[in-house]
Amino acid sequence: MFSFLIAFVYFFFRLLTWTLILALPLGIAYFFYLKHRSTYFQRIGLPHPPVTSLFLGNLGDYENNLKQHEKILEWSKKYGTTFGMIDGGAPTIVTSDPEIINEVFVKQYYTFQARKFHPSFALDQENNPAVNVFFAQGNQWKRLRALFAGSLATGKIKAADPIIKRAAQELIQVFEKHENDVIDVSPQILNFTFAVIARSALGIDEEFGKSTYLNRKAIDFRSQESAEEKSERHQDFLDFMHEAEDPNFDATNNTDLYLKVPKKLTREELIQSARGFLIAGADTTATLLNYCLYELARHPECEEIIVQEIEDFIKSEDDIIYNNVKDLTYLDRFVKEVARFHPLAFTVTARRAIHSTTLKTSDGKQLQIDKGVGILANAFAIQMDENIWGSDAKEFNPDRFLPENSVHRHPMAWLPFGAGPRICPGKNLALHEAKS
């Protein structure tokens, strides 16, 4: 027994010794890799904040208290229009140069089609069978985007008017129950936007405020729905996407990909698309609506103009339809100004270069971009830039979106939904829902 114990201890320490011998050079090599990575922007000559962590880069400062925009604005004032940061290990260039942003979102969008993952952790977003349109790349993105765009066409948005109206009435009823109370409106606004998306996109018609993320169950249930049941309700996003589902379609098979690109979805793509519709469609629109209420409270003069415009053009609830809402021009300008003042989820528009390239800057210079480097459009800075919006850029003024005031403005000056081919496909639905 004693000899066995001695042998075990000897074996253990021998294993530990060899582990340390092997791990030590790997650890040293990894340390120098992190050190080299942390000096990336110093080596290419781009201004940058000090790297506070070899492993996380600037992430600790950037994510502090989840106020990324405040830190980005602080850094932009200190380091200029275009600067670098190490975002959780991924070198990222932050810019409010509209020409660089135009290169990334429009002119060279294919080079920057990837979302900003660290390359070491990014999945194969061009062939992943469970990816949605937000993360997809290459041919898979083109196919999903074409299907998604069809489900969000103007005709589909118009068909959702009764659903939006009903959810709005339910929201008003909640407010009326608490007309003498102080309440937090944010959860109720989110209930409204979730109800609209759940009912119009997935056919989930639960009680207002009690909806849950049942996208997979909804898909399974709807697969078994009878033709009679289907004819009795609104044709929604899930109907449109179900028509594109093909159980035999292989998104990784080149033959399927080229023969069926415009038509078909895998089941996992269908599920992920439904999930993306729910998350993106509910939360961001709710945030926009909350800021609209906030700015109405701050600017009663805007509220008076909006109320008068509605009274002039909307005579009854039956008039609250897409074509009439579209004609409420001051309301449209107000919502756009809210989105300018309060950029929505600006970090999600960040891109990653899938190969090296150079970008043209506003002053005519060339900016070298290496493969794997991220680009973050500094929407907060560009949407408050006095060179673009005038000396009153920090004042709330919906009339800056009058046609005569917008005609010469740079197309990358207003970025709440991104820009270019990968602009948010739900932009028109979100704006219509917010105004309705």
Residue-range domain boundaries for the chain: 2-38, 96-435
Given the structure tokens 């009058």, which residue do they identify?
402
Coil, helix or strand for 111? coil
User: Burial, 112: exposed, middle or buried (Cβ in 10 Å; 0-12, 13-18, 19+)?
Assistant: buried
pLDDT at 261: 41
> Do residues 305 and 348 make contact, with C-beta atoms less than 8 angstroms apart?
no
pLDDT at 140: 76
pLDDT at 130: 59
Given the structure tokens 């609830």, which residue do they identify?
317
Indicate the Cα dihedral angle 332, 337, 339, 343, nearest 10°: 160
Query: Where does 96-435 sit in CATH, by number?
Result: 1.10.630.10
Q: What secondary structure letter does DSSP report for 250?
A: -
> Do residues 101 and 382 make contact, with C-beta atoms less than 8 angstroms apart?
yes
Provide the residue-wise pLDDT of the chain in tens; the chain has 436 residues: 556 566 655 666 666 676 767 777 777 877 777 777 888 888 888 999 998 887 787 887 777 766 778 888 899 999 999 999 988 778 999 999 999 999 999 999 889 988 775 444 455 555 666 566 777 777 777 777 777 776 777 888 888 888 889 989 999 999 888 888 888 888 899 889 888 887 776 666 666 666 554 444 444 444 444 444 444 444 555 554 444 444 444 444 444 433 444 455 666 767 777 777 777 778 889 999 999 999 999 999 999 999 999 999 888 888 888 888 899 999 999 999 999 999 887 788 889 998 999 999 998 889 999 998 999 999 999 999 999 999 999 999 999 999 999 998 999 999 999 899 888 888 888 899 999 8
Euclidean distance between CA atoms 105 and 394, whole angstroms:
26
pLDDT at 202: 67
Distances (CA, A) of 201 to 42, 145, 215, 266, 328: 48, 16, 10, 18, 25
What is the pTM (predicted TM-score) of this model? Answer: 0.81
Given the structure tokens 């509605």, which residue do they identify?
310
User: Burial, 11: exposed, middle or buried (Cβ in 10 Å; 0-12, 13-18, 19+)?
Assistant: exposed
Euclidean distance between CA atoms 211 and 184, whole angstroms:
19
Q: At 4, which helix (H) or strand (E)? A: helix 2-38
**All residues at 6 or more sequence positions from 15 whose CB lies less than 8 Å from its CB, including other chains:** none
